[in-house]
Amino acid sequence: MTAISQPILPSSTPIETSRMMLPDDTNSMGNVHGGTILKLIEQAGYIVATRHCNSNNKSRVPLTTILARVENTDFHKPMYVGEIGQVQAAVTYTSPHSIEVTVDVWAENTLTGVRRHTNSARLWYVAVTSDIGLYEKPLKPMPVPQLSTLSKEEFEAGRRRYEMQKEARKTKMLNDKLRDTLNTQSDMHDLHSVPASQTTLTNVVLPSDCATSGHMLGGALMKMMDSAAGICSIRHCRTPAVTISLEAINFISPIFNGDLVFVTAEIIFTSAKSMTIEVHVEAEGLRSESPRRVTNHALFTFVSIDENGKARDVPKLKLSNQEEENKFEEMKRIYEARKKERMRTTKD
């Protein structure tokens, strides 16, 4: 069968994306999660902005777009499970190096035929070459094809919006102060020390994380625990790391839909090629006056790997107080006992 090549749509052509809202899209209150809607808005904005850049691209170098700013995002009405979310996006202004996209979201109840305007947003994108590669590579904004379908009044209104958002983004002084603060905090901890890699993940439990009874599924929680431990291990060695073992996890207290979960991971022991990460979990009932409670504790073991997937040496853990030394020595005894047991089993 011969493939039929379709021409690229004009850059001024709006797009519409649609999909049904499912139970996994809801928040703990039962309506569609705001983050789900924001994700749909940005996806539509990305599509129409990238299409615009490549429809009139004289350089012939494929371009992609990166979100630079989101503003004026309004949530007019809620959206519910079973409704069709319709996202309409259009390029409404271009500067030499940026693209303004206007997005509207509608919810359609297919049973009643009622259609409601639920969201509106304005986003700004910049164009870059599509081979952006690793995050360390500096991004250079590329020239943007200009939108030629605007009237004089539309162009002037767009230019005013552009100047306003440009002025609002002048936060270099604030960013410099924040960066200095973060650098100062970072300098407080020695590289490869326990505090330097400590990681805490905080998340709200959603219906998709729960069983039908409304309590958080163990698998969803263990995934979060493994993620925190993985981040901690990578921050310590600054290389890829993988889980190789997990101690027994005791589920001390259940976690429920709508609870706030805190997962804290810190490194407590290093051998030549492995790291032991201690993970603590606490939960807080956002809709109750109950205090934060301890729900779980576990020990994860990770190894650092090279580009060939082979275990590599792990930086030695720097200890700074008696508590850290006690945990290290206790884990060292356990590690050496297991090592002897493995050697004995291998011989047998």
Which CA distances in Å does 253 have to 122, 260, 263, 289?
Answer: 44, 14, 14, 16
Residue 296: which residues within 8 A CB-CB, separation 6 or more? Answer: 221, 225, 249, 250, 251, 252, 279, 280, 281
CA-based diameter of the chain, in Å?
Answer: 86
Q: Alpha-carbon torsion 51, 52, 57, 61, what sign?
A: negative
243 contact partners, CB below 8 Å, separation of at least 6:
226, 229, 230, 300, 301, 302
Does the active-site annotation cover 27? Answer: yes
Q: For the chain, what's the residue count?
A: 348
Start-to-end C-alpha separation, the chain? 62
| E strands in the chain | 15-20, 63-75, 84-94, 99-108, 115-129, 199-204, 241-246, 250-251, 260-270, 275-284, 293-304
Of 27, 54, 57, 119, the catalytic one is 27
**Pairing between strand 275-284 and 293-304?**
antiparallel
Choose the catalytic residue: 25, 104, 209, 226.
226
Pick the closest to residue 268 from 314, 222, 317 (CA basis).
317
Please tell me the distance from the alpha carbon of residue 75 to that of residue 104, in angstroms, as a whole number.
10
Q: Rounded distance, CA 85 to CA 156, Å?
A: 32
Taking the C-alpha atoms of residue 117 and residue 123, their distance in angstroms, rounded to an integer, is: 18
Residue 294 sits at φ, ψ, to 5 deg, of -80, 130
* Residues forming the active site: 27, 226
